[in-house]
């Protein structure tokens, strides 16, 4: 089955710096890659996603890149702010309109003022 590896597990940056979180997936049939932000005790919130027919997607300070050949995808947050501090999860899914989402292990991001 699908397996998603995420690194690093913790990341601390200064406010204004960039943060990069990386994931790899095992199943080459995966075709949908969302990123979620989760605050303690809350549901995951979708922050950006990318489909397998696209290499890069950007939304203001957040971008995601996908390398299908290497089975890697990454989240890039620029100009980080303290409110970006949270746990971030990558995920991968197989299926035309959505199959089961398999999550990475999570990255605890801390943005220091």
Partner 1 sequence: GAVVSQHPSRVICKSGTSVKIECRSLDFQATTMFWYRQFPKQSLMLMATSNEGSKATYEQGVEKDKFLINHASLTLSTLTVTSAHPEDSSFYICSALRTATSYGYTFGSGTRLTVV
Q: Which residues bind partner 1 (CB under 8 A)?
A: 1, 32, 34, 41-44, 46, 49, 51, 89, 93, 96-98, 100-106
Return the C-alpha torsion angle 16, 110, 21, 105, nearest 10: -170
Instruction: Report, in Å, the least distance between residue 79 CB and partner 1.
Output: 27
Instruction: Report, in Å, the least distance between residue 33 CB and partner 1.
Output: 10
Task: Pick between residue 14 and residue 43 the one whose CB is nearest to partner 1.
Answer: 43
Task: Pick between residue 41 and residue 113 the one whose CB is nearest to partner 1.
Answer: 41
> Which among 103, 48, 43, 41 has a CA at the least distance from the CA of 77?
48
Instruction: Report, in Å, the least distance between residue 20 CB and partner 1.
Output: 19
Task: Pick between residue 25 and residue 32 the one whose CB is nearest to partner 1.
Answer: 32
- Evaluate whether 92 touches 32 at the Cβ level (below 8 Å): yes
Specify the 3-state DSSP secondary structure of 18.
coil
Instruction: Report, in Å, the least distance between residue 24 CB and partner 1.
Output: 15
> Which among 103, 100, 106 has a CA at the least distance from the CA of 29?
100
């Amino acid at each position: 089955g699908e397996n998603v590896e995420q690194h690093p597990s913790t990341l601390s940056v200064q406010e204004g710096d960039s943060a990069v979180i990386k994931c790899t997936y095992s199943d080459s049939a995966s075709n949908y890659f969302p990123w979620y932000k989760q605050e303690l005790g809350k549901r995951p919130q979708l922050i950006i996603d990318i489909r397998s027919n696209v290499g890069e997607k950007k939304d203001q300070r957040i971008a995601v890149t996908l390398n299908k050949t290497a089975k890697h995808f990454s989240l890039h947050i620029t100009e980080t702010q303290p409110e970006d501090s949270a746990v971030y999860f990558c995920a991968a899914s197989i299926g035309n309109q959505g199959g089961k989402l398999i999550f990475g292990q999570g990255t605890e991001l801390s943005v220091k003022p």
